[in-house]
């Protein structure tokens, strides 16, 4: 049965990976997401199997790292990890199934990209997946587990790059700066210009403005 774990934040280590190894696991994937809270853009998840004997110094919660350090670690993870899976779930699906289920879908899709499959999952937050793989949910996992932190960095950098591309299409909203989060600047832009196809129709801060035509004319899903 999947188990949940909650621990005081003390910095990433190999503790949870070591505990999984003691239970017989040999291919452990750390899983994390980026983009649950924003008003716009996809939710992205990543699963990373770190390689034994190939340490990656500096791994931590992606939110605690500078953009330059995230980019450096993103490249190093790509070079050193044993396996990586990254998956994005688009706005249309988020609107249809809700953000929690979209997050779980993104995580499951990221895990599915790892071949051969992992035999144990360490997942950030109080989230477990409907997969036939032993797994452990870890509160603040990206601050406690090396592999979960690696997954968070892969997800965050991937999503930031997607938001930079969306900024090229919709420069009025400052996606290059706010990454889709509900900053004052972003909310004012939605009020001024209306939502775009990149906005999450059922999120507060967006749905109030849907009486106006969508910028880009995306048809919205029905509740």
Reading the chain (223 residues) residue by residue, the pLDDT tens digits are: 444 444 455 689 999 999 999 999 999 999 999 999 999 999 999 999 999 999 999 999 999 999 999 999 999 999 999 999 999 999 999 999 999 999 999 999 999 999 999 999 999 999 999 999 999 999 999 999 999 999 999 999 999 999 999 999 999 999 999 999 999 999 999 999 999 999 999 999 999 998 655 555 444 433 3
What pLDDT score was predicted for residue 8?
Answer: 53
What pLDDT score was predicted for residue 210?
Answer: 86
70-74 contacts, C-beta under 8 A, 24 or more apart: 70/153, 70/156, 70/157, 70/160, 71/157, 73/150, 73/153, 74/153, 74/154, 74/157
Tokens 């934040």 map to which residue? 9
CATH code reported for the domain at 3-166: 3.30.420.10
What pLDDT score was predicted for residue 1?
Answer: 41
Quote the pTM value.
0.90
What pLDDT score was predicted for residue 212?
Answer: 58
């Amino acid at each position: 049965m999947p188990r949940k774990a909650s621990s005081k934040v003390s910095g990433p280590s190999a503790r949870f990976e070591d505990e999984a190894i003691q239970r017989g696991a040999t291919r452990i994937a750390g899983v994390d997401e980026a983009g649950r809270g924003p008003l716009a853009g996809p939710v992205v998840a990543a699963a990373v199997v770190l390689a034994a004997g190939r340490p990656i110094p500096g791994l931590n919660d992606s939110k605690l790292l500078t953009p330059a350090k995230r980019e450096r670690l993103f490249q190093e993870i790509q070079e050193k990890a044993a396996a990586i899976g990254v998956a994005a779930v688009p706005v249309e699906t988020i609107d249809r199934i809700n953000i929690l289920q979209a997050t779980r879908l993104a995580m499951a899709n990221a895990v599915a990209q790892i071949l051969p499959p992992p035999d144990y999952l360490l997942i950030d937050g109080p989230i477990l997946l409907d997969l036939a793989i032993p797994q452990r949910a870890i509160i603040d996992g990206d601050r406690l587990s090396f592999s979960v932190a690696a997954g968070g960095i892969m997800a965050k950098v991937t999503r930031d790059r997607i938001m930079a591309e969306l900024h090229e299409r919709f420069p009025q909203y400052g996606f290059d700066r706010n990454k889709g989060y509900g900053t004052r600047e972003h909310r004012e832009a939605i009020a001024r210009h209306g939502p775009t196809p990149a906005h999450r129709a059922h999120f507060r801060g967006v749905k109030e403005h849907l009486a106006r035509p969508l910028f880009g004319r995306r048809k919205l899903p029905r509740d």
